[in-house]
Amino acid sequence: MSAPAQTQLRTLTLRKNEDRRLSAGHLWIFSNEVDVGRTPLTGFAPGECARVESSQGRPLGSAYVNPGALIAGRVYCQDATRPLDAELLRARLGTALALRQDLFADPYYRLAFGEADMLPGLVVDRFGDVLAVQIGTAGMERLRAELVDVLTELLAPRGILFKNDLPGRELEGLPRVVELAMGEAPEEAEILENGCRFVFPLAGGQKTGWFYDMRETRALAASLSAGRQVLDVFSYAGGLGIACAKAGATRAVCLDASGVALSYAGKSAELSGVAERVELLEADALAGLKELRAQGRRFGLVSVDPPAFVKRRKDLEKGLAAYRTANRLALELVEDGGFLVACSCSQHVGRDDLRKVLSGAARDAGVRLSIIRQCHQAADHPIHPAMPETEYLKGFLCRVSRPGRGQ
């Protein structure tokens, strides 16, 4: 294959001493790091590729630029002369696909995870022969047609659905829309995970439709669930509860505020052959936990996996209080010797923040906790070592003890 034609990229120059983070491997350029006197951001079109240089003229890589965004540049290649085009997309997606095929026997996984796959602004989830794609940046938006062509060439999917309804697109000056890119996309998608069959809404589902990032945590919970009653709080379509029922839980309660999500949990329980042991409880999570407490219910394993309670750093204190309340209510329902799985997908909540939340929740609930295992996002969500932002999911598996008097 011949080398790609070289395109002359305009230069984006950083201010003095603002190159250290990029030199260490980080991929984001903030607007206040650009020397706008030498290379005005307003001179770039949204999504335009640029050669990035230090204030001394040292090349740092190629990035696409959005002059109206806080993250004004996103590096996609260490070669400072390389445009982002179909050939580079093909190479990056091919590498990402090879990794997932090494990791998984079946075609159900996150195929592309943004910066961790050197594809900033792009997420692709594979549901067998259907792909759900999210484009979060102007730079990737410019390559929509090329992206569809490359994905079609690599995977020959039945359909590609753009789930471009994420709020972050507004920060990039992009519309929020869900639309079919090619082929056909069914209203529902079906996958195999942890020995279960799951069905969930595609166009109308949360995020891309399924949360692959919790796959390994769900498997861990299932491995401990035989002979126990399990409570899956914020269950969505029942990924954890149904896996536990399949693994031998005597009862699995899926608690969620969405009746639509729970209807899919019911369908998945039927498909997985465990409907008689799966109970669906539609309620606000905190109200549902209080209701179960009033009923005197106890569980051998409780999972608390809420949506991001902290979307902005300024909301951290309030969000941590919400995590503490949810986990305190959950702990009140765990039987002596049982387990709590507590997770957070909030980018601004660190692992140590969550550990402190659990410590406080345990004191509030009058129980003792032992952390048995740390939980992480699944392997199809790789972590860029220079970008802590790509490690967003954290959790703990805890053993719960109820001390008796004098203990």
Return the active site residues.
345
Beta pairing partners, 230: 252, 301
Tell me, what DSSP letter sits at residue 79? Answer: S
d(CA 231, CA 247): 14
Q: Pairing mode, if any, of strands 188-193 and 196-201?
A: antiparallel
**Could you give phi then psi for residue 114, rounded to 5 degrees?**
50, -130
Alpha-helical segments (H) within 1-85: 20-23
Could you write out the DSSP letters of every residue in 195-231? TEEEEEESTTSSTTSS-GGGHHHHHHHHHT-TTSEEE
CA distances from 21 to 26, 28, 54, 385 (A): 6, 9, 11, 12
Q: Residues in the chain, how many? A: 407
CA distances from 201 to 178, 230, 335 (A): 13, 24, 34
Could you write out the DSSP letters of every residue in 163-198? EE--THHHHTT---EEEEEEE---SEEEEEETTEEE
Instruction: Decide if 149 contacts 179 (C-beta within 8 A).
Output: no
d(CA 82, CA 67): 20
Tokens 């149904």 -> residue: 242
- Other beta carbons within 10 angstroms of residue 139's beta carbon come to 25
